[in-house]
Chain A
Amino acid sequence: MDLQIALLLGQDGVTNGAIYALLALALVLVFAVTRVIFIPQGEFVAFGALTLASLQAGRLPGTVWLLLAMGTLIALIEGAAALRKRHFRRIPLILLLNCGAPLLLAGALVAVSSASLPLLVQVFLALLLVVPLGPMIYRLAYQPVAEASVLVLLIVSVAVHVTLIGIGLLFFGAEGSRTPSFTEVSFEVGDVLLQGQTLLVLVASVLLIIALYFFFERTIYGKALRATAMNRTGARLMGISGSLAGMLSFTLAASIGAFSGILISPITTIYYDSGFLIGLKGFVGAIIGGLASYPVAAAGAILVGLLESYSSFWASAFKEVIVFTLIIPVLLWRSLTTRHVEEE
């Protein structure tokens, strides 16, 4: 390996690592706020990328149907609850939010030929289609068992993951997609060609992390989430609704997931089940941070990216084996350094 290859691999590793870092942050966030280990995080990556690809190909993305179906289901559940409690005034809002908005979006997509829209509008539309799935999934799958043990929530997560994988196959088919680059610019630094898209991924990841920092430090909702993460009961006594906090953290996780998908789909081909592997690598990063520390999780994720990229050079067949086996020394290190305190 000469320096040029080493730099090239390093560039690759850091780019992927940046994406894993974003996902790791989302995973830590969701776990801290809701105690949910969010296995389906990766599906948002795939859904984001594939929805954008469908829009660019001028097809109606399958996610529209998912949005409509879940919206209708929630409207039914919430509507029935409102009827039982005789809160008739809430019903129009429930219908508008869960059925009206998705219908409007679907109508707009049918009316306009999406392939001719500018790229930024397509990206915006893709996010609009995928991000609401986050809070909807929280409402349908997690909120009814929000008080259950971490173990039950984890099994729910795995069930949601499996369901979304199947739905992904149904909507997007088995073929992968790749979206065109956001930018064709490239720079030459010494001997190495630096792709504009790579830089874009890095800059966008860093910006997103800074934005998240300000969200948690400066806004009332961010502070509410932090309060819930520290002490659920305490936060609830202060008037922070647990389900609002759950929905909010899932919205953030879904946004981060979908956005990451849109960022990397010009670099690698995304299949309906690619998200899972990408998400799991974010997980390895998050576990390095003990599912608690944001900076360590992000650093761990970059490490995973680098390890993956260099091992694909040295032993490409065993790339995945090496990355996932990394978790064992990490767990060993964590088990030797942390004193386990039991949940009451």
Chain B
Amino acid sequence: MKRSLQSTLLLLLFIVVLLLAPVLLPEFYVTLLNYIGLYAIVALGLVMLTGVGGLTSFGQAAFVGLGAYTSAYLTTVHGVSPWLTLPAGLLVTGVVALSLGLVTLRLSGHFLPLGTIAWGMSLYYLFGNLDALGGHTGMSGIPPLQFVELELKSGREFFYLIWAVLLVLVLGTRNLLDSREGRAIRALKGGSVMAEAMGVNTPRSKIVVFTLAALYASTSGWLYAHLQRFVNPTPFSLTQGIEYLFMAVVGGVSHVWGAILGAGLITVLKQWLQDWLPRLLGQSGNFEIIVFGLLMIVVLHRARDGVWPMIQRFFPQRLICARVDGVRPLTRRPLPEAGSVLLEVKDASKRFGGLLANDRVSFGVRAGEVMALIGPNGAGKSTMFNGISGVDPLTSGSVSFRGEPIEGLPAREIARRGMSRTFQHVRLLPSMSVIENVAIGAHLRGRRGFVAAACRADRAEESRLLHEAAVQIERCGLPEQMYEAAGSLPLGKQRIVEIARALAADPCLLLLDEPAAGLRYLEKQALADLLRRLRAEGMGILLVEHDMDFVMGLADRVLVMEFGQKLAAGRPEEIQRNPAVIEAYLGGVE
């Protein structure tokens, strides 16, 4: 715990420096720091959106504008207290962001940023052309903020408010990312298929981060309006929106502190360039954007993680997500009685254009048995898996799971009913540790949401989730790799991590897509032992595998597929003697 003490000390030191700054620094630097703080709040939202969630927005400046203009309009025209206009601004921004998110987030990733460019322009022109908002001249006479008797009129007083808000948001965001919902957000970057299969409602997660980032921007706008006490459309233009993204990327788009660093670097650089470039070039204009653009290209080519990781090396690293012992284990779902039918597939067909990848296949899996699905490459095995688990729904046919029809349900709903799966092409988040990856599997076993995570009210549940993840990792035989980055493991071990992740969901039916590929002999034996133990506990296992020794030694029943159709089904020794199967695998004798 020495590391955590050190980082707490560093944080305290940072706070002390912040407390002293306005007292010691001249006015100019206090103003500069105020702006850095305001920009950093917006950039922090972008860190969460872009660096962590893999989405992006060029229109954050327009959200800042919504916050600022709402407050400006309500305070000057209707005389509302500034303390009431903050929630009003957040409400307006939230509604706008939510509707934009609902419209764009179902499309491929690049439609959102394109959408943000368009409505960033649109809102900017709206601010400039609405007479009620003062048009291009803007609105002045916005009242200052007031704490009982104290009016925050000077930049020095405002400094404390801005940086307190920023610090609270930074710590809250950090806490949020290090939680159940935070892992769900981080899982978005690895594509939504895996996250959905683990029960994450990915459209919801996307809309929540997008809205949250917009609310951060709106807060910054509210502060801006009452610091300046004057608003006009210029600071809410698309150019400023692009600059916010530059701040996040240059600072370090996957680190919360990168937002402050980036805002600081870009703001100071801009100040300096605006002094020097016009003198150097002999004409006036905002030429600093040339330097920013080039800087951005270089950063994206050479150091996509930004500047923060270079500084971070000098700080002690807090070990996040360590295993916690001595907690009450998560409650398990009651397993169905051994021998009862878990999964029933009837006449399942899947058509891709002209190709019939699955053609009226029927089979069932019982609790406490291992059912193997084998067949040559292209026989339609993985397609069948995707159809059953809801990743890519079947064209026709019915699937029932524990007596309930599930065809047509989204993957996350099927996961919730107790089916968990692995993927043939490993879908882990390579930069996250093994334990964090496995904990994603336990997503549905937790309840705590965003607010609880941000203020650390979720710790009891979080430690139970992490404990569960650690137990599953140990059960699968990877205790030494628990804190390593998942991407650094050899492929065979990564497949085992996938199994641990699936187990963390506490399934009663496990779908394993080629779990033994890439494993060595002893590892295969260990895997077979694990699957036997799971079977003995009463779990049903459906397995796709090419290693015949592995399959025949383990499976209770085997289903053979060829060209999308069921070729044979039966016990392993029957299958091994079946002439049709022998012909499919070895070719017929002429």
Seen from chain A, the residues whose Cβ lies within 8 Å of a Cβ on chain B are: 37, 39, 140-141, 144-145, 148, 150-152, 154-156, 158-167, 169-170, 173-174, 277, 280, 283-284, 287, 291, 317-318, 320-321, 324-325, 327-328, 331-332, 334-335, 338, 340, 342-344
Residues of A contacting B100 in the complex (Cβ-Cβ under 8 angstroms): 328
Is A328 a contact of B119 with CB atoms below 8 Å? yes
Q: What are the residues of chain B within 8 A of A166 when measuring CB–CB? A: 285-290, 293
B320 on interface, CB distance cutoff 8 Å: no
Is B285's CB under 8 angstroms from A145's CB? no
Contact check, A163 vs B103: say whether CB atoms are below 8 A apart: no
The reply to whether A342 and B193 form a contact with Cβ atoms under 8 Å apart is yes
**Contact A321–B118 (Cβ < 8 Å):** no
Alpha-carbon distance A167/B50, docked complex (angstroms): 28
CB within 8 A of B293: which of A163, A284, A318, A335?
A163
Chain A nearest CB, measured from B246 CB (Å): 8
A169–B111 Cα distance when bound, in Å, is: 29
Residues of B within 8 A of A161 (CB): 293
Residue B281 is within 8 A (CB to CB) of chain A in the complex = yes
Compute how far the CA of A145 lies from the CA of B285 in the bound complex, rounded to whole angstroms.
Answer: 31
8 Å CB interface, B103-131 against A: 103-104, 106-111, 113-115, 117-119, 121-122, 125-126, 129
The reply to whether A156 and B108 form a contact with Cβ atoms under 8 Å apart is no
Q: Is the CB of B289 within 8 A of A165?
A: yes
- Chain A residue numbers with a CB within 8 Å of B103 are 328, 331-332, 335
Most buried by A among B108, B287, B288, B304: B108
Mark the stretch among B67-75, B295-303, B525-533 that contacts chain A: B295-303
If A287-B111, A321-B126, A334-B107 touch, whether A163 touches B119 (CB-CB below 8 Å) is: no
Closest chain B CB from A300 CB (angstroms): 13
Complex CA gap A325/B283 in Å reads 36
Does B104 lie within 8 Å of A335, measured CB to CB? yes
A155 to B114, CA, bound (A): 11
One of A155, A163, A328 near B249 (C-beta < 8 A): A155
- The answer on a CB contact under 8 Å between A158 and B114 is no
What residue in chain A is nearest B117 (Cβ atoms)? A280
B192 interface contact, C-beta 8 A: yes
The answer, yes or no, to whether B265 is at the interface (CB within 8 Å) is no
Tell me how many residues of B have a C-beta within 8 Å of chain A.
Answer: 50
Closest 6 CB pairs of A and B: A163-B293, A166-B290, A159-B296, A324-B122, A162-B293, A327-B118
Bound-complex Cα distance A169 to B293 (A): 14
Q: How many residue pairs between the two chains, A and B, have CB atoms under 8 Å in the bound complex? A: 143
Q: B296 near A155 (CB under 8 angstroms)?
A: yes
A163 and B298 CA atoms in complex are apart in Å by 12
What's the nearest-Cβ distance from chain B to residue A274, in Å?
Answer: 14
Cβ of B219 within 8 Å of any chain A Cβ, yes or no, is: no
Please report whether the interface of chain A is mostly helix, strand, loop or mixed according to DSSP.
helix
Q: How far is the CA of A272 from the CA of B114 in the complex (A)?
A: 22
CA distance A173 to B126 in the complex (A): 27
Whether the pair B192, A342 counts as a contact (CB closer than 8 A) is yes
Cα A166 to Cα B50 in complex, Å, equals 25
> When the two chains form the complex, which single residue of B107, B122, B304, B425 contacts A331, counting CB atoms closer than 8 Å?
B107
Known A163-B294, A324-B122, A327-B118: A156·B113 in contact at CB below 8 Å: no
16 contacts between A and B (CB under 8 A): A144-B301, A155-B56, A155-B300, A156-B296, A156-B300, A159-B292, A159-B294, A166-B286, A166-B289, A166-B293, A167-B290, A170-B281, A170-B283, A287-B111, A287-B114, A342-B192
Q: How far is the CA of A211 from the CA of B107 in the complex (A)?
A: 32
Task: For residue A86, give the distance in angstroms from its CB to the closest CB of chain B.
Answer: 25
Contacts of B246 in A (CB 8 A): 159
A208 to chain B, nearest CB (A): 24
> B residues 70-118 with Cβ under 8 Å of A?
100, 103-104, 106-111, 113-115, 117-118
Q: Is the CB of A320 within 8 A of B121?
A: yes
Most buried by A among B104, B125, B249, B286: B125
Contacts of B515 in A (CB 8 A): none
Q: B242 contacts the other chain (Cβ, under 8 Å)?
A: yes
Are A163 and B297 in contact, CB atoms less than 8 angstroms apart?
Answer: yes
Contact A321–B122 (Cβ < 8 Å): yes
Q: Are A162 and B292 in contact (CB under 8 A)?
A: yes
| Interface presence of B227 (CB below 8 A) | no
Q: Which one of B107, B110, B296, B304 contacts A37 once the chains associate, using CB atoms below 8 Å?
A: B110
Judge whether B199 is part of the interface by a CB distance below 8 angstroms: no
Q: Does B212 contact A (CB under 8 A)?
A: no
Q: How far is the CB of B43 from chain A (nearest CB, A)?
A: 14
Q: What's the nearest-Cβ distance from chain A to residue B580, in Å?
A: 34
Contact partner of A340 among B108, B125, B245, B289, CB < 8 A?
Answer: B108
In the bound complex, residues from chain B placing their C-beta under 8 Å from that of A167 are 290
Question: Shortest CB–CB separation between residue A163 and chain B, in angstroms?
Answer: 3
Bound CA–CA A8/B288 (angstroms): 42
Bound-state CA distance A173–B113 (Å) is 30
* Complex interface: chain A residues within 8 A of B114 (CB): 37, 283, 287, 327
A344–B104 alpha-carbon span in the complex (Å): 20
Check if A318 sits within 8 Å of B129, measured CB to CB.
yes
Cα–Cα, bound, A239→B103 (Å): 41
Q: How far is the CA of A141 from the CA of B294 in the complex (A)?
A: 9
Shortest distance between the CB of B42 and any CB in chain A (Å)? 16
Cα–Cα distance between A318 and B124 once the two chains are bound (Å):
11
Max count, chain A CB within 10 A of own CB: residue among B106, B118, B292:
B118
Cβ-based interface call for B54 (8 A): yes
Measured CB to CB, the nearest residue on chain B to A323 is B122
How far apart sit A164 and B294, CA to CA, in the bound complex (Å)?
A: 10
Residues of B within 8 A of A320 (CB): 121-122, 125
Known contacts A151-B56, A166-B293; 18 additional CB pairs below 8 A are A145-B301, A150-B109, A151-B110, A152-B300, A156-B296, A159-B246, A162-B293, A291-B110, A318-B129, A324-B118, A327-B114, A328-B103, A328-B119, A335-B103, A335-B106, A343-B108, A343-B191, A344-B425
B58 lies within 8 A of chain A by Cβ: yes
Known: A321-B129, A324-B119. A159 touches B300 (CB 8 A): yes
- Chain B 319-332 near chain A by CB (<8 Å), digits 1 or 0: 00000000000000
Q: How far is the CB of A140 from chain B (nearest CB, A)?
A: 8
Is there contact, CB below 8 Å, between B300 and A162?
no
Cβ-defined contact, B54 with A151, below 8 A: yes
Q: Which residues of B contact A163 (CB under 8 A)?
A: 289-290, 292-294, 297
Residues 173-220 of B contacting A (Cβ, < 8 Å) = 191-193
Closest Cβ–Cβ distance, residue B48 to chain A (whole Å): 15
Docked complex Cα distance between A264 and B258 (Å): 44
B62 to chain A: closest CB distance in Å? 11
Cα(A218)–Cα(B459), bound, Å: 65
Nearest B residue to A40 via CB reads: B293
B284: nearest residue on chain A (CB-CB)? A174
Taking CB atoms, residues of chain B closer than 8 Å to A164 are: 293
Contact of A284 with B118 at beta-carbon distance under 8 Å, contacts A145-B301, A150-B110, A318-B125 already known = yes
In the bound assembly, the distance between CA atoms of A222 and B152 in angstroms comes to 65
